[in-house]
A and B are shown apart, each in its own frame.
Chain A
């Protein structure tokens, strides 16, 4: 098999894998939401409600300096 042929096969396989990986990720994101495992859109609120004393969207259970609080 020549380098040209090999590169054609690699491009086709590579493109196929890329398409599958990214579409799978989209499906994963939507299915996680549909089955109630994750609500991705709630993270958008992090930028809006960003006061230091406001309630986090997801509280970090173990901040490094929690012992001092």
Chain B
């Protein structure tokens, strides 16, 4: 091991994931804008034959933003902050560095395979688990490599105590590993049928209702262990570090952690309310979803209280703005989700636009805002350069905030209108509206959503430019900033 005086954290792998975050962000969200526009103007479906239809593009959108943009952003945060809270450099172990590079390049192959295969229409048709079995195996290898690196760093650490962010990273690793394996149990059809069908095709090992229950056990916990748990890991490191304020209550962070771990895993059945799964599964999922407010708000309130006495930073530091609004959106979406999981509310909300509205106030307001803050806080330390433009960051914040508000308010109104119209009956019990009646009423809200999405995408391009210029042309820094990130 080198002497401490000459030693530095190694950000080589952080840099690689930073670029994939930006690139996948642009690709995934551009497709999001296109499919939002297709819903508002259906003729846009026919611009590229089968490859440009909503049905082909929609899984690419979800998979690229989740597994491309978000996972890359999470790996940026992990490879950056885990070294720092454990006080150990990746560069101290050649093995870990090699595994880190290997993990990144396998990730690139898997991500490219995902885009190409889904573009060609090759999919298992399971939500958030569309990848076919060869890619699933690759994902498992990538995940195992991440685990080896994580526990390798933990084994080498100088700081004995594991900071709360590490707890969340470990939970992400374990949670996704367990859920992913169970949900992707599939049988390659060619092997089983003695040569029939394509080599890459598979069918789920579960059938019917069981398949649905396992699928949504995974589906909802993808929300838990990709959209929530690792993002909490990020905010528990980045908000205190950027603000210079220790987390408000470490004890509350521990309590919220165990609460979240225990409760989240039971809530997946709320995706199947009013379907053919047993009633007790539905009730249990509904109850656990409502209880989930407690640990979620525990983390979010802990974050907001971390700014206690330092709220002035909110006005003059755009990174604090991103993170405070992220925790606020986390509170909003973790209140909204349980409300939707109440069976009587769900009877109206299920299958309506309120659901994508809920997802997007969470992912655009909470997850993506935290990913932006993660990259921009890390950039001056990684590239040893000042953030290129504070005003651009401010403008991005406001444009994207307006965008998220346009997105979810339009979807709330559209969703509730849609649900009410579907259920409306006349005095004889006949349905009052046909499907096309709802389409006509909802069209203006779909246009508003497309506008909101476009605004968010413009903000993303501003971020990409700001990040690129920070990495290549920002003013060079002599010393590493301790807390607040320097910006021009």
Residues of A bordering B, CB below 8 Å: 3, 7, 11, 18, 22, 25-26, 29-30, 33, 40-48, 50-54, 56-61, 63-65, 68-69
Cα A53 to Cα B159 with chains together (Å): 11
| Interchain CA distance A35-B22 in the complex, whole Å | 49
Cβ of B160 and Cβ of A48 under 8 Å apart? no
Count A/B pairs, Cβ under 8 Å. Answer: 106
Q: How far is the CA of A25 from the CA of B298 in the complex (A)?
A: 15
Residues from chain B with a CB closer than 8 A to the CB of A22 are 255, 258-259
Q: Which residue of B lies closest to A53 (CB)?
A: B4
What is the minimal beta-carbon distance from B231 to any residue of chain A, in angstroms?
16
Stretch of B38-46, B241-249, B396-404 at the chain-chain interface: B241-249
Within 8 A of A (CB), among B239-264: 240-241, 244, 246-247, 249-251, 254-255, 258-259, 262
A61-B250 contact in complex given A47-B240, A50-B85, C-beta closer than 8 Å: no
A56/B246 in contact, CB under 8 A = no
Interface of B is mostly: helix
B332 interfacial contact with A, CB 8 Å: no
Q: Are A26 and B250 neighbours in the complex by a CB distance under 8 Å? A: no
Contact yes or no, B155 A48, CB < 8 A: no
Chain B residues contacting A56 (CB-CB under 8 Å) are 87, 158-161
Top 9 A-B residue pairs of the complex, sorted by shortest distance between their CB atoms: A44-B246, A50-B84, A60-B160, A58-B160, A56-B159, A68-B1, A46-B163, A53-B4, A44-B247
Task: Give every chain A residue within 8 A of B249 (Cβ-Cβ).
Answer: 41
Minimum Cβ distance to chain A for residue B235 (Å):
11
A52-B84, A58-B159 given; 17 more Cβ-contact pairs under 8 Å: A3-B280, A22-B255, A22-B258, A29-B254, A29-B255, A30-B251, A41-B246, A43-B163, A47-B85, A47-B237, A47-B241, A52-B9, A53-B4, A53-B5, A56-B158, A56-B159, A56-B160
Q: Are the CB atoms of A52 and B280 closer together than 8 Å?
A: no
Least CB distance from A10 to B in Å reads: 9
Q: List 20 A-B contacts (CB under 8 A).
A: A25-B258, A29-B251, A41-B249, A42-B250, A44-B240, A44-B246, A47-B85, A47-B237, A47-B246, A47-B247, A50-B84, A50-B241, A52-B83, A52-B158, A57-B159, A57-B161, A58-B160, A59-B160, A65-B93, A68-B1
Contact A63 B158 (CB under 8 A): yes
Question: Is A41's CB under 8 angstroms from B87's CB?
Answer: no
Provide the residues of chain B in CB contact with A29, threshold 8 Å. Answer: 251, 254-255
- B483: A residues at CB distance < 8 A: 48
Q: Is B1 within 8 A of A65, CB to CB?
A: yes
Least distance between A19 CB and chain B CB atoms (Å): 10
Also in contact, A65 and B250, with CB within 8 A (given A26-B255, A43-B164, A48-B241): no
A47 to chain B, nearest CB (A): 5
Cα–Cα distance between A64 and B156 once the two chains are bound (Å): 5
B296: CB under 8 A from chain A? no
Q: Complex formed: what's the CA distance from A33 to B240 in Å?
A: 22
Which residues of the other chain, B, contact A52 by a CB distance below 8 angstroms? Answer: 4, 7-9, 83-84, 87-89, 158
Flag B408-443 by CB within 8 Å of A: 1 or 0 each.
Answer: 000000000000000000000000000000000000
B157 within 8 Å of A by Cβ? yes
| A48 to B236 Cα, complex, angstroms | 11
Residue of B nearest to A47 (CB): B240
CA distance A44 to B251 in the complex (A): 10
> CB-CB < 8 A to B7: which residues of A?
52-53
Q: Give bound CA distance, A48 to B243, whole Å.
A: 9
